[in-house]
Structure 1
């Protein structure tokens, strides 16, 4: 008599990251800058892309790293060494990320009529963030007003990346093939390392 083998619960493939793994990895990278500063990132906006092995998953991983850096800066005081290190890392990270994102993703979807507006909106917000960060860099970190300004910039950036994850990436995905997504991730990786290495912290007070 033959016996029917018992069904087994499906197992996760080795090496495949979950959304939680991807988020934890991103926070760990931020923590390396200032290990003693808490990175209370908390809950993050829902997105289908976290943990994916494509351009969108890679962008969200950077976003989570930026969320951690923002939270850590908020936990610092005055012009401490940790605040200075974390702010510099945030500026270089955002600059490298935005430039590479524009070259890899938005330049590709800009040509499609249905996503041109999304691409233009994202690039415009990148330029605005550059100005806001330059303004912060030019101001005295030791003053209480600096953290208030930083909090406003933090809110604007969090809104920007939430909008990308929950709206603009979804629109762009409809017009890209799986091969496109893998190729664009490779382009992003290459450009991110170059752009971040060449980035500098600009200082310019914003008068308005």
Structure 2
């Protein structure tokens, strides 16, 4: 396995992720509890970096729950969450899941993760097309949050653990060189799509 950067302690990595989320709306609470539930952070340049993003997403979800109606904070935080998750998911697919797909022992994990990314895209597009001030919007937002938390729990506790066992040094070098660059590019180009797809 290739030499890796020194891992941040989990508390420090989590605090960094929350601080980044808080820049979007500093007065909003970002209560994400004791996450990450898993102690696994793996290679700090790859899996540790992905988990740090997940912590940021958890914080953004919590901050949106601390808003009301069509407030500027809710709109700003929702836009940041969508851009952040779209950029993360696309970069994760390019850096990690494209590599993992090649190994028959981990192909199914990669397919499952990518399918859930697309399902989440549809849920966010549906939310974006609806009235943020309605009680129905909050119910849908809660369902989207639950789906996302389920998705990242699977990644952190099962899929990342399995994937790391099968990565070569070359795979690690590829992922290290690709993820941060692609995340920035994908996030910058992300759009909040508005498309009602789910039943009322």
Give TM-score, length-normalised by structure 1: 0.89
- Segments of 5+ residues of structure 2 without an aligned counterpart are 1-5
Q: Does residue 169 of the first structure (1) align with residue 160 of the second (2)?
A: yes
For residue 48 of structure 1, report the CA deviation from its aligned partner. 1.4
Find the counterpart in structure 2 of residue 34 from structure 1. Answer: 25
4+ aligned runs moved over 2 Å, structure 1? 177-183
For residue 178 of structure 1, report the CA deviation from its aligned partner. 4.6
1:157 to 142, 145, 148: 148
Map Cα deviations across residues 150-204 of structure 1 (whole Å, 9 max, x no partner).
Answer: 0010000000001000000011011113553343122101100110001000000
1:187 to 170, 178, 195: 178
- Segments of 5+ residues of structure 1 without an aligned counterpart are 1-14
Seen in structure 2, the aligned counterparts of structure 1 residues 16 and 156 have a Cα distance that, compared at 3 Å, is closer
2:38 to 18, 35, 46: 46
Taking only aligned residues, the RMSD between alpha carbons, in angstroms, comes to 1.3
Seen in structure 2, the aligned counterparts of structure 1 residues 16 and 205 have a Cα distance that, compared at 3 Å, is closer
Q: Does residue 129 of the first structure (1) align with residue 120 of the second (2)?
A: yes
SS of the equivalent of 2:19 reads helix
Q: Report if aligned partners of 2:130, 2:137 keep a CA contact under 8 Å in 1.
A: yes
1:72 to 60, 63, 67: 63
Q: Does residue 55 of the first structure (1) align with residue 46 of the second (2)?
A: yes
Give TM-score, length-normalised by structure 2: 0.93
Q: Report if aligned partners of 1:54, 1:182 keep a CA contact under 8 Å in 2.
A: no
Map Cα deviations across residues 77-128 of structure 1 (whole Å, 9 max, x no partner).
Answer: 1110000000000000000000000000000010100000000000000000
Q: Report if aligned partners of 2:7, 2:48 keep a CA contact under 8 Å in 1.
A: no
The aligned length equals 193
Tell me which of the two structures has the higher relative contact order, counting C-alpha pairs closer than 8 angstroms and 6 or more residues apart.
2
Instruction: Name the CA distance, whole Å, in 2 between partners of 1:16 and 1:54.
Output: 8
1:17 to 8, 13, 17: 8
Compare 81-90 and 139-148 and name the one that shifted more.
139-148
Seen in structure 2, the aligned counterparts of structure 1 residues 109 and 93 have a Cα distance that, compared at 3 Å, is same
Instruction: Name the CA distance, whole Å, in 1 between partners of 2:102 and 2:117.
Output: 19
Seen in structure 2, the aligned counterparts of structure 1 residues 89 and 114 have a Cα distance that, compared at 3 Å, is same
Compare 177-186 and 87-96 and name the one that shifted more.
177-186
SS of the equivalent of 1:37 reads coil
